[in-house]
């Protein structure tokens, strides 16, 4: 991997702690030679993110609560005072009120639905709009998604609907930006133990079921998801856009699992 991202500058959104998928991708991107900048959701997370960014040789950290109008644009404004170009963006953030991540999807309220769609789906389009002027030499955008966008998984509910919108956004953005050499892809990770992952009701059952029935017999680890992220933001995937790439041990291919 060494040198694959040498000379590339990337924005990482969604680090909460060292178990965050965003951090796994950041670490792999750093090892591949990228220069990185980070956003954090709020001041409480900021301290941790500043330290983690420092561990990866980055001193560019910016607050960005994507629920706030204009936050994505203000991040890019700040970033453009540090860098004259941006090669890639990793969007690894999502949110839905915990009350909707258990029980039936159809009980979701209007407010919870809108908040989930805004933070988990629209924010990717918003950062694409903002980042475009800094990516005039081409670039890559990646967002994190999950199988619950395509198929029903227990308690994923409004997050599954939001991820479906996010995956559709990947395809539309790929067309809108393709002519400018900007590629847009989704990375669909199998279950990883993170704060967001633990917020889904019955997360342990999904984690165990997936590792038991995945063709590889396990869920992906953070480094594997990180390297898949590097693939999607690097020239290794220069011919790939509008794609949902799975890093899930092959689980999404299984219809009826083997009788173990
Ligand atoms: P995580 O809790 O470490 O990261 C989630 C991030 O979302 C946090 O950094 C949080 O600050 C950020 N966030 C939430 N609301 C925000 C807002 N309003 N503004 C800015 N940031 C906000 O969990 P994670 O599992 O690393 O999640 C990263 C992404 O990966 C999410 O999109 C998640 O849906 C996706 N994903 C996770 C798994 C899994 O099993 N953990 C599997 C597939 C996809």
Q: For the segment 7-30, what is each residue's pLDDT rounded down to a tens digit?
A: 999 999 999 999 999 999 999 999
Cβ atoms of residues 213 and 251 within 8 Å: yes
Q: How confident is the model at residue 259 (pLDDT cuts 50, 70, 90)?
A: confident
15 lines ligand 1 (CB under 6 A): yes
- Rounded (10°) CA dihedral 12, 88, 65, 30: 10
CA distance 220 to 224: 6
pLDDT score for 98: 96
pLDDT score for 256: 94
**Over residues 117-130, mean pLDDT:** 98
pLDDT score for 105: 98
Ligand 1 centroid – CA 10 distance (Å): 18
Whether 260 has a pLDDT exceeding 90, the answer reads no
Cβ atoms of residues 247 and 187 within 8 Å: yes
**Over residues 88-112, mean pLDDT:** 98
CA distance 42 to 253: 38
Q: How confident is the model at residue 134 (pLDDT cuts 50, 70, 90)?
A: very high
Whether 1 has a pLDDT exceeding 80, the answer reads no
Tokens in use for 80? Answer: 């453009």
Is-catalytic flag, 251?
no
pLDDT one-digit tens code per residue, 231-249 = 999 999 999 999 999 999 9
CB atoms within 10 A of CB 177: 22
Mean model confidence pLDDT for the chain: 97
Tokens in use for 14? Answer: 């969604």
List the residue whose alpha carbon is closest to atom 19 of ligand 1.
65
**Over residues 165-175, mean pLDDT:** 99
**Over residues 61-74, mean pLDDT:** 98
CB atoms within 10 A of CB 250: 15
Q: What percent of the chain clears pLDDT 70, i.e. is strictly above it? A: 100
92 lines ligand 1 (CB under 6 A): yes
Whether 164 has a pLDDT exceeding 80, the answer reads yes
Active-site position among 40, 105, 146, 251:
146
**Over residues 37-48, mean pLDDT:** 97
pLDDT score for 2: 78
Pairing type for strands 182-189 and 139-145 reads parallel
Q: How confident is the model at residue 177 (pLDDT cuts 50, 70, 90)?
A: very high
Ligand 1 centroid – CA 259 distance (Å): 33
**Over residues 119-136, mean pLDDT:** 98
Whether 143 has a pLDDT exceeding 80, the answer reads yes
Q: Which atom of ligand 1 is nearest to the CA of 193?
A: 41
12 lines ligand 1 (CB under 6 A): no
Whether 107 has a pLDDT exceeding 90, the answer reads yes
CA distance 240 to 163: 20
Is-catalytic flag, 231?
no
124 lines ligand 1 (CB under 6 A): no
């Amino acid at each position: 991997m060494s040198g694959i991202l040498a000379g590339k500058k990337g924005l990482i959104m969604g680090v909460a702690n060292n178990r965050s998928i965003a951090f796994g991708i950041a670490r792999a991107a750093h090892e591949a030679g990228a220069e990185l900048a980070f956003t954090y959701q709020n001041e409480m997370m900021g301290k941790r993110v500043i330290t983690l960014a420092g561990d990866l040789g980055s001193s560019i950290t910016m607050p960005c609560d994507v629920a706030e109008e204009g936050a994505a644009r203000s991040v890019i404004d700040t970033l453009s005072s540090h860098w004259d170009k941006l090669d890639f963006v990793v969007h690894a953030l999502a949110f839905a009120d915990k009350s909707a991540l258990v029980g039936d999807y159809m009980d979701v309220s209007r407010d919870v639905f809108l908040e989930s769609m805004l933070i988990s789906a629209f924010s990717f389009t918003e950062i694409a709009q903002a980042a475009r002027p800094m990516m005039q030499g081409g670039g890559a955008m990646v967002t994190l998604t999950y199988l619950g966008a395509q198929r029903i998984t227990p308690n994923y509910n409004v997050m599954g609907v939001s991820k479906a919108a996010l995956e559709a956004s990947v395809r539309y953005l790929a067309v809108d930006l393709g002519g400018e050499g900007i590629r847009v892809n989704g990375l669909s990770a199998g279950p990883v133990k993170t704060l967001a992952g633990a917020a889904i009701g019955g997360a342990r059952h999904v984690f165990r079921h997936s590792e038991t029935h995945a063709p590889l017999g396990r869920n992906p680890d953070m480094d594997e998801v990180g390297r898949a992220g590097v693939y999607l933001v690097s020239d290794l995937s220069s011919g790939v856009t509008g794609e949902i790439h799975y890093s899930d041990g092959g689980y999404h291919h299984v219809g009826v699992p083997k009788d173990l």
